[in-house]
Amino acid sequence: MGAKAKKALKKKLRKNSSQLSISGRANESSDFLPLEGGPGRKISEPEEPVKETGTVLYIGHIPHGFYEEQMEGTYILRCRETSKKTEIFLNGILTVVILSGFFQQFGKIKRLRIARNRKTGKSRHYGFLEFENPEVAKVVADEMNNYLLFEHNLQLSLIPPERVHPKLWKGVNRIFKPLDWKAIARKRHNKERTMEEHQRMVHGILKRDEKRRKRIKAAGIDYECPDFVGVVQPAPKRIKFDEEEN
């Protein structure tokens, strides 16, 4: 073996020994050696899961017929009216019937609000639901999202506490009583009018009738519209009494 070969062999041995010492120090701090070879690896510490603190859920795509009573449950009193008082009974026993709501199977409900039309009181098909336990709210949001109910896929999502509007639950326990617009229109139509108001109403009726006659004539229809009854109001009679003779 020549001098150059001996020198190359010593250099190679020195390099291998340095790599073994580095890998040994690395393996001392590692937790295990991989089966496929290579340097040791250290097991990473598991990260603590972020705890959910939100308890308010947004519910979208609420179908018709799925309202507060069906979600939260309701109380039904079996009662009968007598001449003296109202008695609650069922087979002669004082009874209160409780119908369990759909979301009560998960946990205790704190508050529930369904958005409704201010004029008609009909549902706007979305609402908000609050549970007492944040873990229950997280489970409901994960499991009931896209749940098929009455041919509608419910859309549930958890709202972070910092995004809950401070006036979200304002008037939540208030019973909505929609206005009886038919009764209001009936009262407005049947109210007592003065002579001036009556003449103004008749003038409007005649004006609309004249426009209707013109449209009928422009369409080429030969039709004679009957006149309105009571168009001409008789003038009030003035009765002059003779002065009493002194």
| pLDDT tens, position by position, 104-122 | 888 888 889 998 888 788 8
Provide the whole-model pTM. 0.49
In angstroms, what CA-CA distances link 60 with 43, 69, 149, 165, 198? 43, 17, 12, 17, 50
Bridge partners (DSSP) of residue 114 are: 127
Averaged pLDDT score across all residues of the chain = 76
- 4-43 tens-digit pLDDT: 677 777 777 676 665 555 455 544 455 555 555 556 555 5
Torsions phi, psi of 99, nearest 5?
A: -95, 120
Q: Provide the CB-side half-sphere exposure for 57 (13 A, CA).
A: 28
Question: What is the structure's pLDDT at 226?
Answer: 80
Identify residue 102 by its one-letter amino acid code.
F
Q: How many CA atoms lie within 13 A of 48 on its CB side?
A: 3
